[in-house]
Amino acid sequence: MSKNVVMVGAGVANVNAATKLIDNGFDGKITIIDMGKDPYLRPYEEVMTGFLGAGGWSDGKLTYHTAIGGQLSKYCGEEKAMELFDQVIDNFKRFHPKPEEVQCSNPIAEPDFIKPYFGLRLFPVWHVGTDYLHEIGKNWYDFLVDGGVEFIWETKVTSIDFDNSELFIGEEESWLDTKNWPISYDKLIFGVGKSGIDFGKQLAEEYDLPTEPKPVQIGVRFEAPQKHFQKLIDVSYDFKLYRKYEDKGVSLRSFCTNNNAAYVAVEETYGDHSYNGHAKKDEAFRNDMTNFGILMEVQGIDKPFDWSRDVVKNLQIDGTGLYYSPTRKPSTTSEGKNVSAIQVDTLHKIAKSMQPYFMYVYDFIEDMKKVFPTLKDDWGIYVPEVKYLSPEPLVDYTNLALTKYPNVHFVGDALSARGITVSGAQGTYVAEHILKN
């Protein structure tokens, strides 16, 4: 067994990893370093840092499906992934002050009227309850401390020497200070979440880590009066329509649906405009509109980041994005200002810039017109919507260790996760590997 396991980040992934080790009588040393605070001291406004990381103050929804929340089955297969999810959910119940209140919402069957044009992604979700996360955190923390885990709080890891298996805390000028001497490890589990994404990138560049090829994610933000979609919204508020063209390496999904008081938002990334959406809770903002992304995931494009950047650049006129509608004008923001976009009369420029992929978006809209018969020409699209995916380090799928440094494991949002269950499961997967060896 590796005697000295050091974990960077006390988030969902590493807390589950440590729990697995303790539960199985790991007889080495476990140290967890986090720049946030322990659960007794962590204030509500520190959303991303401290015990349980972003999961500690999250909505507490534990999704239970391998297609949601990031990748896991890619590494360990479908069956193992579900078993790991069960372990994470059991942990949340185990430290819950009222475990009987953790309920699973059961998905209902896909409604017939969307078939055969679309699939509707339905998945079970365990609801922990945001209000209980604080108490869960304290119980879980006490268990780990009693089990011998050493926590180092309010301490930022600033550099890691993968070649000599040691890490550094604080600013470089302070490294000679005895309290900031490097910390050695036999095994390192790197679980810094979204709050440490820049640190992950910095290490990837410094050590020239090989990365996974990433798909392009690009499309449009679709907007229409809500009444056309009400029948589906009644079934699923944040509906996820999808379709796949397996042989072409293209899949499409509706993404982040907003209803009732739904506004299109302009995002500025790398100096260009793209679109997203948000919903207001206050009834005063009700506009009875629906908006959602129609996002394409395209596999196999060489240099996907550069390709996406070029497409986004080509879709700008006078420093902003485009709007197309057969009948409508762009909407206003929740502050009553026009959504920044240049209205174009034809789809020509859009189709040309997204060549050869725009036809998939066009077909998606045409088929929505069949499924939602009142929609007709009463819609508009803001173009582009884009997700620039950050590079993901290449890992050994059997233990999530860097291919260049087998004693360094990446887990959670720092790898490919985007949710609590997947992050926790990745941590558990690595702990199982450490126990086996």
Ligand X SMILES: Cc1cc2nc3c(=O)[nH]c(=O)nc-3n(C[C@H](O)[C@H](O)[C@H](O)COP(=O)(O)OP(=O)(O)OC[C@H]3O[C@@H](n4cnc5c(N)ncnc54)[C@H](O)[C@@H]3O)c2cc1C
Interacting residues toward ligand X by CB under 6 A? 8-13, 33-36, 47-50, 53-55, 58-61, 63, 69, 156-157, 191-196, 199, 412-414, 417-421, 423
- Compute the CA torsion angle 63, 298, 194, 404 (nearest 10 deg): 110
CA neighbours within 13 Å on the CB side: how many for 203? 25
- Shortest distance, CB of residue 413 to ligand X, whole angstroms? 4
* CA separation for the pair 223, 225 (Å, rounded): 7
- Shortest distance, CB of residue 379 to ligand X, whole angstroms? 30
In the complex with ligand X, the residue whose CB is nearer, 143 or 324, is 143
In the complex with ligand X, the residue whose CB is nearer, 12 or 220, is 12
In the complex with ligand X, the residue whose CB is nearer, 258 or 308, is 258
- Shortest distance, CB of residue 36 to ligand X, whole angstroms? 4
In the complex with ligand X, the residue whose CB is nearer, 101 or 306, is 101
In the complex with ligand X, the residue whose CB is nearer, 53 or 380, is 53
Pairing, β 4-8 against β 187-190 = parallel
In the complex with ligand X, the residue whose CB is nearer, 58 or 340, is 58
- Shortest distance, CB of residue 190 to ligand X, whole angstroms? 9
- Shortest distance, CB of residue 260 to ligand X, whole angstroms? 20
* CA separation for the pair 219, 417 (Å, rounded): 22
In the complex with ligand X, the residue whose CB is nearer, 63 or 217, is 63
In the complex with ligand X, the residue whose CB is nearer, 83 or 367, is 83
**Can you list the positions of beta strands (E) in 335-413?**
342-344, 380-387, 395-396, 401-402, 408-410
Report which of 166, 190, 168, 212 is spatially closest to residue 409, judged by C-alpha positions. Answer: 190
Report which of 311, 292, 269, 275 is spatially closest to residue 383, judged by C-alpha positions. Answer: 275
Give the SS3 label for residue 6: strand
- Shortest distance, CB of residue 121 to ligand X, whole angstroms? 15
- Shortest distance, CB of residue 362 to ligand X, whole angstroms? 33
- Shortest distance, CB of residue 134 to ligand X, whole angstroms? 14
C-alpha radius of gyration, the chain, whole number: 23
Alpha helices (runs of H) in 111-229, residue ranges in sequence order: 133-146, 197-206
DSSP 109: P
Encode burial over 25-44: b for 16+ CB neighbours within 10 A, e otherwise. ebeeebbbbbbbbbbeebee
* CA separation for the pair 268, 266 (Å, rounded): 7
* CA separation for the pair 424, 13 (Å, rounded): 4
Report which of 408, 403, 402 is spatially closest to residue 160, judged by C-alpha positions. Answer: 408
In the complex with ligand X, the residue whose CB is nearer, 36 or 384, is 36
In the complex with ligand X, the residue whose CB is nearer, 90 or 288, is 90
- Shortest distance, CB of residue 38 to ligand X, whole angstroms? 11
- Shortest distance, CB of residue 168 to ligand X, whole angstroms? 10
Report which of 235, 206, 194, 203 is spatially closest to residue 419, judged by C-alpha positions. Answer: 194
* CA separation for the pair 370, 385 (Å, rounded): 24
Q: Which two tokens stand for residue 261?
A: 């008081």
186 φ/ψ angles, rounded to the nearest 5 degrees: -90, -40
